[in-house]
Chains A and B, each alone.
Chain A
Amino acid sequence: DTGVSQDPRHKITKRGQNVTFRCDPISEHNRLYWYRQTLGQGPEFLTYFQNEAQLEKSRLLSDRFSAERPKGSFSTLEIQRTEQGDSAMYLCASSFRTSDNEQFFGPGTRLTVL
């Protein structure tokens, strides 16, 4: 257990539905990252926050995706109008902004869009 938690662990939804995932980082970490991983591939960067500010969004993050970190603690990732291509593992990581910036990952949320 790295100290980063994600909820839910698994989500099955029908195409067109909205889904929301939550990530609770390690409490003293001020940076939070979202990644997406498809089968057989390494994770791909989606977005990251420093405190409550969203500092970068990948081109992978279409308009259907939105992420928030309202109080600089937990974060949510929402996908609207899900598509089958959204099926993936969504991973959250956190780090403390230091020179090494080591990232610690949560267990992930497995999304299946039917």
Chain B
Amino acid sequence: KQEVTQIPAALSVPEGENLVLNCSFTDSAIYNLQWFRQDPGKGLTSLLLIQSSQREQTSGRLNASLDKSSGRSTLYIAASQPGDSATYLCAGRDYKLSFGAGTTVTVRA
């Protein structure tokens, strides 16, 4: 069974700082890895999908890397803004997603 761990559980930074969110998984046979954002009481918004043949994906201020050999993925958010405050979840999978518990980010204005 795929176990996914996210560190830290919570993070508070001043506006403008870069964010680094970590995700580790136990099964290196991970197929793809997907990062999501979740606002309180809401559903999940897909941020980035890294296919197993890729090492990273970028979208705007977001960059995610995947190292299957070490079982790790990292999400970087550059120049954080208060609107980035949310819970960020990573999920590894084949056809079904196995989620970490998330990192709750607070960006202080």
The 8 Å CB contact of B96, one of A4, A6, A48, is A48
Tell me the dominant secondary structure on chain B's binding face. Answer: strand
Interface size class of B (residues with CB under 8 A): 20 to 34
Indicate if the CB atoms of A107 and B101 lie closer than 8 Å: no
The 8 Å CB contact of A42, one of B43, B49, B51, B100, is B100
Indicate if the CB atoms of A100 and B101 lie closer than 8 Å: no
Indicate if the CB atoms of B95 and A42 lie closer than 8 Å: no
Taken together as a complex, chains A and B put the C-alpha atoms of A29 and B108 apart, in Å, by 39
Given contacts A44-B99, A45-B98, whether A103 and B34 have CB atoms under 8 Å apart is yes
In the complex, whether B26 has a CB less than 8 A from a CB of chain A is no
Closest to B99 in A: A42
The 8 Å CB contact of A2, one of B41, B43, B95, B102, is B43
The 8 Å CB contact of B101, one of A31, A41, A91, A104, is A41
